[in-house]
Amino acid sequence: MTRAEVESYLNEVFPQLSIDGPVYRVEAVGEQTARLHMTISNRHLRPGGTVSGPSLMGLADLAFYVALLGAIGPVALAVTTNLSFHFLRKPEPRDLVGDARLLKVGKRLAVGEVVIFNAGSSDPVCHATGTYAIPPRAVVG
């Protein structure tokens, strides 16, 4: 799927992602890769003036899913089976970028990683690894 196809598909099957206005923007979809931009607002912050862990987790999960959509097409029922996070440094309270890369895509499982940065910085704030379950083709769509 192309970047535009993925964005259209996400709007169709996950309209709740934009319920309070757009938060995520798909910047790129490549061969088993994706880059997402997350607009940070007060709802994403925690005490201490940093982006909350759940916000980082949401970005990582969605970036992984977008990379998977780019690799296997529109599979709404592909689901996260595992996510593991390493919080590397305190994220500044500003926009984030998540770079996802699939390491292996099989018939039933996909394994990948996501590195998250503050926009405009090259220092990673978080590294996530995960696994997605891919449903049998009979349930795709």
79-115 pLDDT tens trace: 999 999 999 999 999 999 999 999 999 999 999 999 9
Considering Cα of 61, then 67, then 72, then 76, what sign does the dihedral take?
Answer: positive
7 contacts 70 by C-beta, under 8 angstroms? no
Burial of 44 (0-12, 13-18, 19+ CB in 10 A): buried
Element (H, E) at 66: helix 53-72
Q: Average of pLDDT values for 1-17?
A: 90
Beta-carbon contacts of residue 122 (< 8 Å; ≥ 6 apart): none
CB atoms closer than 10 angstroms to residue 14: 14
Q: Which residue has the tokens 């595992």?
A: 82
- Phi then psi dihedrals of residue 124, to 5 deg: -65, 140
Residue 25's nearest CA partner among 14, 11, 36 is 36
- Mind listing the domains of the chain with CATH numbers? 3-139 (3.10.129.10)
The string of pLDDT tens digits covering residues 29-45 is 998 999 999 999 999 99
